[in-house]
């Protein structure tokens, strides 16, 4: 069945063969996309040149234009503006991604898939605003820092701080403050840096042969908008290349210093930065009652943007560099990527793969890549090599580390034979999230009938190495009809739905697959004989996987909600809870199961139901004959443990029970007592 999408009555598709350098079948593409009306699809050879009039004519009648050209987008947008086009336009690359390839004859299904996905409305992007007034601190050791200050003094409010300065010639004219100091800590971002400085001192105006400084002090605090680090030391900030407003260069490299100066001049004003992560603290499973549970996001964040904040964590959007690792590993959906959202990316994968299959494509491989590295490598392969294989469908994401289990499961459920991540040989972001994802898929893929090589990570800057790795991806994997579900909603439910659909359409269909320790799926096991149904685990569970029955003493568990955070295990006073990492496909969207159930305990006096038999008996065993309130002459009081609240209060009142009438407490040991007992003091006496 053809993949349906919202098609405007006035939609038109323009397919350009880029001066005849490849041969897209416009009629077949139109048929696959459902554009069969007269004039709904136009084929041309030189849309940015001799065929520009076709675009102008289309703009006069169409409300939505899909243009199969990405390279000339700026010029074509200018033309649309000139002719007064008021509709929507989409620009899609089918040349570098499909047409310029040694397998261009087989690339028709991929072209159709790319065009179908390109017609989708772009996601709305949230932003966070950063403001810089140009207050800059240049941190260095010698004249290099002072010279940089002179070049930036007209554009920025400069202070130069010298670390352990040697003999420095005083400037003939003081254009900016020069101080000395050693930065102990640095935190913040563009417009809001805070530095703690030791050995801080101002330079003396009376300096003659070399700079002299006044009295020094430790623990001084400095605030600035920019930090320009020319110290040649280790970075002041983790993942320094990803922190807005922190500029660092080797002072021995004049070219690098000049590039840094040029960049610093532009960092004045108001800047909109994407808010990469949508965070819902109420879903976070970090801790409960000061007991630490899930720490997955803290482990993968390279910039230090995430910090514990009570029962949850807090993510500073101004520091976040957008790697998406936290969203990739977050098991609850508390942290989800917003560029785009997980369900939006899954819907794009659905459109790509279902259109590809409908057009006759087989054994699709999804290639996740970014724009800065991936686009350049794909374009180089198209221009100077054999181009991408016909079955490899490139999917542009902001960062490859944003992709998690949900997107991978959706890819295979919708019919992909494999998926690959393209990263640089020296990636700017830590690829630890992909390592964790690989740990999961190495268990899932064989269980579902795929080779582990069906998910690959390609770290290269060489187009030929990329091509070789893609050609080595497995093929010929037998699958049923691809899934057709619509991924809509929050991250965790969408991921669980994708996993269930993957299993339903996989070559093999096991009910359970064992997973490695630390996996975000699994079961909670309770040793029934030791459980007292105190329900401490229920109050600790952050995702309501463990629940109580309000009508009777019962502990229930819903496995598809469990994220294996371990809070229940750490909280259990009886230590009868254990975790079993696994993925039980039959438990997805299934009703909760009962882990422990007892009959309520009837009050020994009035028969009212309260508590549980095991709890009452355990308390009696622990207190009877062992605590002064329930031993010796007070042994009869043990029966009060079996009374309900009302009967216990009544009996204690009638008996005149005094809770403070216990045995005399031992005298508090003081310092004098310890001195008195010291052997040396005894010898002296």
How does pLDDT run across 634-665, given as a tens digit for each residue? 788 888 889 999 998 888 888 777 666 666 77
Q: CATH says 514-597 is which class?
A: alpha beta
Backbone angles phi, psi at 659, to 5 degrees: -65, -15
Q: Is 90 exceeded by the pLDDT of residue 106?
A: yes
How does pLDDT run across 344-400, given as a tens digit for each residue? 999 999 999 999 999 999 999 999 999 999 999 999 999 999 999 999 999 999 999
How does pLDDT run across 442-491, given as a tens digit for each residue? 999 999 999 999 999 999 999 999 999 999 999 887 666 899 999 999 99
Same CATH topology for 130-271 and 275-337: the answer is: no
User: 3-state SS of 157-198?
Assistant: EEEEEECCCCCCCCCCCCCCCEEEEEEEEEECCCCCEEEEEE
Residue 383 to residue 469: CA distance in whole angstroms: 18
Residue 8 to residue 169: CA distance in whole angstroms: 72
**Closest listed residue to residue 83, CA positions, set 51, 59, 50:** 59
Write down the CATH number for the domain with range 275-337.
Answer: 3.30.70.20
Map tokens 């560029």 to a residue.
Answer: 339
* pLDDT for residue 4: 41
The CATH classification of domain 343-508, taken from the options 1.10.3470, 3.30.1370, 1.20.1420, 3.40.50:
3.40.50
Tabulate helix, strand, coil % of the chain (nearest 5). 35, 20, 45
Integer CA distances (angstroms), 499 to 323, 368, 400, 582, 600, in order: 24, 19, 20, 13, 39
**Domain extent listing, the chain:** 1-91, 130-271, 275-337, 343-508, 514-597, 602-685
How does pLDDT run across 245-289, given as a tens digit for each residue? 999 999 999 999 999 999 999 999 999 999 999 999 999 999 999
How does pLDDT run across 123-175, given as a tens digit for each residue? 888 899 999 999 999 999 999 999 999 999 999 999 999 999 989 999 888 89
> Does domain 130-271 match CATH 3.50.50.60?
yes
Question: How many residues in the chain?
Answer: 685
Map tokens 């952050």 to a residue.
Answer: 542
**Closest listed residue to residue 473, CA positions, set 547, 586, 388, 538:** 388
**Closest listed residue to residue 49, CA positions, set 81, 26, 27, 17:** 17
């Amino acid at each position: 069945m053809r993949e349906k999408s919202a098609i405007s009555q006035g939609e038109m598709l323009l397919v350009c063969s880029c001066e005849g350098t490849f041969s897209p079948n416009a009629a077949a593409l139109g048929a696959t996309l459902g554009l069969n009306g007269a004039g709904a699809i136009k084929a041309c050879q030189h849309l940015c040149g001799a065929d520009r009039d076709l675009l102008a004519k289309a703009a006069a009648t169409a409300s939505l234009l899909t243009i199969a050209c990405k390279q000339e987008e700026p010029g074509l947008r200018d033309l649309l503006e000139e002719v007064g086009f008021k509709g929507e336009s989409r620009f899609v690359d089918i040349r570098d991604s499909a047409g310029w390839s040694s397998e261009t004859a087989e690339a028709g299904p991929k072209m159709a898939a790319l065009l179908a996905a390109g017609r989708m409305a772009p996601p709305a992007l949230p932003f966070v605003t950063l403001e810089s007034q140009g207050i800059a601190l240049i941190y260095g050791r010698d004249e290099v820092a002072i010279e940089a200050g002179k070049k930036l003094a007209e554009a920025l409010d400069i202070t130069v701080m010298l670390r352990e300065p040697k003999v420095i010639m005083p400037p003939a004219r003081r254009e900016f403050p020069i101080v000395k100091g050693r930065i102990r800590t640095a935190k913040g971002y563009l417009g809001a840096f805070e530095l703690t400085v030791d050995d801080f001192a101002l330079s003396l105006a009376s300096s003659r042969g070399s700079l002299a400084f006044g009295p020094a002090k430790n623990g001084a605090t400095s605030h600035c908008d920019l930090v320009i680090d020319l110290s040649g030391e280790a970075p002041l900030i983790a993942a320094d290349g990803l922190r807005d407003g922190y500029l660092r260069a080797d002072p021995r490299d004049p070219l690098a210093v000049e590039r840094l100066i040029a960049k610093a001049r532009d960092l004045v004003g108001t800047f909109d930065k994407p808010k990469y992560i949508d965070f819902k603290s109420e879903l976070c499973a970090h801790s409960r009652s000061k007991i630490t549970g899930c720490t997955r996001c803290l482990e993968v964040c390279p910039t230090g943007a995430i910090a514990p904040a009570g029962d949850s964590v807090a993510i500073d959007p101004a520091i976040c560099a957008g790697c998406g690792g936290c969203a990739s590993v977050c098991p609850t959906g508390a942290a989800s990527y917003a560029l785009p959202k997980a369900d939006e990316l899954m819907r794009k994968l659905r459109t790509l793969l279902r259109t590809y299959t409908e057009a006759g494509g087989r054994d699709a491989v999804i290639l996740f890549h970014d724009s800065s590295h991936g686009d350049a490598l794909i374009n180089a392969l198209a221009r100077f090599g054999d181009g991408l294989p016909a079955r490899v469908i490139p999917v542009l994401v902001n960062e490859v580390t944003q992709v998690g289990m949900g997107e991978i499961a959706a890819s295979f459920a919708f019919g992909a034979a494999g998926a690959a991540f393209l990263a640089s040989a020296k990636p700017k972001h830590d690829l630890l999230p992909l390592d964790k994802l690989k740990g999961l898929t190495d268990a899932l893929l064989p269980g579902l009938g795929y080779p582990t090589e069906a998910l690959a990570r390609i770290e290269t800057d060489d187009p030929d190495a990329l091509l070789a790795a893609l050609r080595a991806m497995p093929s010929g994997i037998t699958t049923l009809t691809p899934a057709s579900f619509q991924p809509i909603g929050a991250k965790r439910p969408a991921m669980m739905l994708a996993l269930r659909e993957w299993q339903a359409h996989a070559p093999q269909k096991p009910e359970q697959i064992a997973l490695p320790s630390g996996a975000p799926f699994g079961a909670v096991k309770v040793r029934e004989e030791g459980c007292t149904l105190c329900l401490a685990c229920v109050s600790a569970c952050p995702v309501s996987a463990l629940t109580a029955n309000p009508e009777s003493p019962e502990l229930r568990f819903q496995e598809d909600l469990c994220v294996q955070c371990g809070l229940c295990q750490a909280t259990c006073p009886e230590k009868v809870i254990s975790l079993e990492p696994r993925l039980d496909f039959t438990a997805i969207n299934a009703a909760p199961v009962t882990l422990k159930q007892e009959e309520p305990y009837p009050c020994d006096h009035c028969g009212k139901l309260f508590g549980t038999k095991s709890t009452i008996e355990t308390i009696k065993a622990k207190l009877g004959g062992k605590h002064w309130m329930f031993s010796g002459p007070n042994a009869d009081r043990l029966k009060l443990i079996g009374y309900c609240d009302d009967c216990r209060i009544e009996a204690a009142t009638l008996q005149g029970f005094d809770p403070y009438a216990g045995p005399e407490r031992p005298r508090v040991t003081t310092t004098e007592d310890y001195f008195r007992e010291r052997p040396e003091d005894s010898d002296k006496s």
